[in-house]
A and B are shown apart, each in its own frame.
Chain A
């Protein structure tokens, strides 16, 4: 442990270890969380059940009949000392996005609150490559950041009862896509034509922590065509490997 007090290795009950690397949302912290998860996976420690990477911490679920807290915390600390994130290659996912009409029920309000035109909101949303910090809340739901400063608004005071699947949403410094129909309190500014979660796949979530996502605007007619093509399995998302 350095003078900053991090990392903190804490129990969450007797079957989970939290490895907190920081208390901030930060891309470099997130990369270290992912690297620690990779290192633990490679170490294949008997009794480790599964790993859940989040913004600034890794939750290690373990079998308390096979491992004790001090033992798993000690191993995690050793692995943490050896992790390197520098040379990793990333997946950049080119994500078609449509910001038109009823696909974007909150776009006008976001424009009004930010003092921008709807066109400018859409332009800003597509102007950066987002980092996938983690999946959570719903199966396949990606927390992506960071949203350009001018677009940052709090969540809705009253969440919607039904958010349509594949909606593009924003809240605070994050953007996301709802994989399933669900209640939700984020503002909806568009939609993607591709499913983010498919139980038919061995790896059911389209995105993984550490991925980069670039939203690329398409007009409504093209969006509708793509939706059909993706639903039928006839279209494939453009994904390239890029240097970190």
Chain B
């Protein structure tokens, strides 16, 4: 049998996602791909993959997986999650490093408490057929990823590699900061379809992520936004991060599985530097928005990219000293302090 990861427990909504299905939006096909492309990229880097290789996107509750291969190298990107290995020594491995597993090993992903999504990358990627150039799962269309759907118990995810390469495990000594502060938004393109009061309200208010949150988008509870000249526009294209406001005045932030076009006015769009944070929003999270100009948004993106490149350049071999660190983290986990993974110190370092 070919090398595979076997799904013992699927978690809440675990899907295969990559850098997205680029080039088919003109056919009405959503981009899909990772809700948080930064975490996908970092997880892939830790196992030596290209930035947009397909990995497992884990939402809210992590899966249990069993290795059915002579060996496999995996890495978890997660802001406060971890891998629990059901090996003989029962190790807990923190996020932001790779680890090499053997045939029969079981791993459980402890999903983060403070972010919607985490990513598990495998060295070499999954041996799944690309659909329209991408291995991302588009559930509504029933294609891509593993049989076009979220994982279920008993699934066998075929691996491209039979065993881990000799290059050794890696870790990120300075994991990324989760970030806080308002999501930065470029106003428009239909800001003229809102009253000036609505625009002022939008930028001055706290919104709460409603329970109706999925890969298509998150609905935001908070002050209603009044339209000017009705709430229907002639349908036009929708960008990742666009904030559309239907007739009820409640904003909807569009994410990875968004429709390619839409008929509601878009008050603005979250700038690309903040999209990974937007993708990590969980129901109940508070969010505020701040206006930036498009030039400023693009400068933020360049700074964000430079920050990621610095993180990636700082990857080091996961040496013996890390194992000691792991033991510390494991102790934390055993005592229940999963949220003890605070990266605020690293925050200052990566600026």
A56 with B189, Cβ < 8 A, contacts A50-B22, A137-B28 known: no
> B123-148 interface mask toward A, CB cutoff 8 Å, 1 = contact, 0 = none?
00000000110000000111100000
B325 contacts the other chain (CB 8 A):
no
Contact A23 B29 (CB under 8 A): no
Q: Which of B239, B270, B271 contacts A61 (CB 8 A)?
A: B239
Q: Decide: B237 and A204 in contact? CB cutoff 8 A.
A: no
Tell whether A16 pairs with B237 under 8 Å between CB atoms, given A65-B302, A136-B261, A180-B141.
yes
Name the residue on A nearest B131 (C-beta).
A199
> Residue of A at shortest CB range from B148?
A199
Least Cβ distance of A126 to chain B in Å?
A: 24
Q: Chain A: which residue is nearest B141 at the CB level?
A: A139
Q: What is the chain B residue whose CB lies nearest that of A172?
A: B232
CA distance A13 to B183 in the complex (A): 12
The answer to whether the Cβ of B49 comes within 8 Å of any Cβ in the partner chain is: no
State whether A52 touches B234 (Cβ < 8 A): no
Indicate if the CB atoms of A51 and B26 lie closer than 8 Å: yes
Give the contacting residue for B26; candidates A10, A13, A53; CB below 8 A. Answer: A53
Q: Is B62 an interface residue (CB 8 A)?
A: no
Which B residues are in CB contact (< 8 Å) with A140? 27-29
Over the window 69-87 of chain A, the binary record of Cβ atoms lying under 8 Å from chain B Cβ atoms (1 yes, 0 no) is 1100000000000000000
Residues of B contacting A56 in the complex (Cβ-Cβ under 8 angstroms): 234, 236
Chain A residues with Cβ below 8 Å from B323 are: none
Whether a CB of chain B sits under 8 angstroms from the CB of A93 is no
**A134 at interface by CB-CB < 8 Å:** yes
| B294–A14 touching, CB < 8 Å | yes
Question: In the bound complex, do residue A135 and residue B237 qualify as a contact, i.e. CB atoms below 8 Å apart?
Answer: no
Asked if residues B28 and A20 are in contact (CB atoms below 8 Å), the reply is no
Chain A residues contacting B237 (CB-CB under 8 Å) are 12, 16, 18, 52, 54, 57-59, 136
Max chain A C-beta neighbours (<10 A), residue from B22, B186, B236:
B236
Q: Point out the residues of chain A lying under 8 angstroms from B298, CB to CB.
A: 14, 64, 68-69
A103-146 interface mask toward B, CB cutoff 8 Å, 1 = contact, 0 = none? Answer: 00000000000000000000000000000001111111101000
Cβ-neighbour of B236 out of A14, A55, A138 (below 8 A): A55
In the bound complex, do residue A143 and residue B269 qualify as a contact, i.e. CB atoms below 8 Å apart?
no
Residues 17-48 of chain B, each 1 if its beta carbon lies under 8 Å from chain A, else 0: 00000111111111000000000000000000
The answer for the CA separation of A102 and B301 in the assembled complex, in Å, is 53
Contact digits for A1-29, partner B, Cβ 8 Å, 1 yes 0 no: 00000001011111110101001110000
Q: How many residues of A contact B (CB 8 A)?
A: 48
| Residue among A25, A140, A199 facing the most chain B CB atoms (10 A cut-off) | A199
Asked whether any CB of chain A lies closer than 8 Å to the CB of B259, the reply is: yes
Residues of chain B lying within 8 A (CB to CB) of residue A52: 25-26, 237, 260-261
Question: Is B248 an interface position by the 8 A CB rule?
Answer: no
8 Å CB interface, B156-184 against A: none
**Per a CB cutoff under 8 Å, which of B28, B142, B297, B302 touches A13?**
B297
Are A12 and B27 in touch, CB under 8 angstroms? no
Whether the pair B25, A50 counts as a contact (CB closer than 8 A) is: yes
Question: Contact at B260–A136, with CB atoms within 8 Å?
Answer: yes
| Given A61-B239, A136-B28, A143-B235, CB of A11 within 8 Å of CB of B189 | yes
Give Cα A16–Cα B242 distance, bound, in whole angstroms. 10
When the two chains form the complex, which single residue of A12, A65, A141, A209 contacts B301, counting CB atoms closer than 8 Å? A65
Q: Which residues of B contact A143 (CB under 8 A)?
A: 235
Chain A 169-199 interface mask (CB, 8 Å, partner B; 1/0)? 0000000000010100000000000000101
Whether B266 is near chain A, meaning CB under 8 Å from some CB there, is: yes
Docked CA distance A192–B341 (Å): 56
In this assembly, does B79 line the interface, its C-beta being within 8 Å of a C-beta of chain A?
no
- Which residue on chain B has the smallest CB distance to residue A13? B269
Within 8 A of A (CB), among B222-278: 233-242, 259-262, 266, 268-272
B305 at interface by CB-CB < 8 Å: yes
The 4 closest A-B pairs by CB, nearest first: A59-B237, A136-B261, A13-B269, A14-B297
14 new A-B contacts, CB < 8 A, other than A55-B234, A204-B24, are A8-B189, A11-B186, A15-B301, A18-B237, A25-B234, A52-B26, A54-B234, A54-B235, A65-B301, A69-B294, A135-B26, A138-B28, A139-B27, A141-B28
A/B interface sample: 17 pairs, CB < 8 A: A12-B239, A14-B271, A14-B272, A14-B298, A23-B234, A25-B234, A37-B26, A52-B261, A55-B234, A57-B236, A57-B237, A134-B235, A139-B27, A139-B30, A140-B27, A140-B29, A180-B142
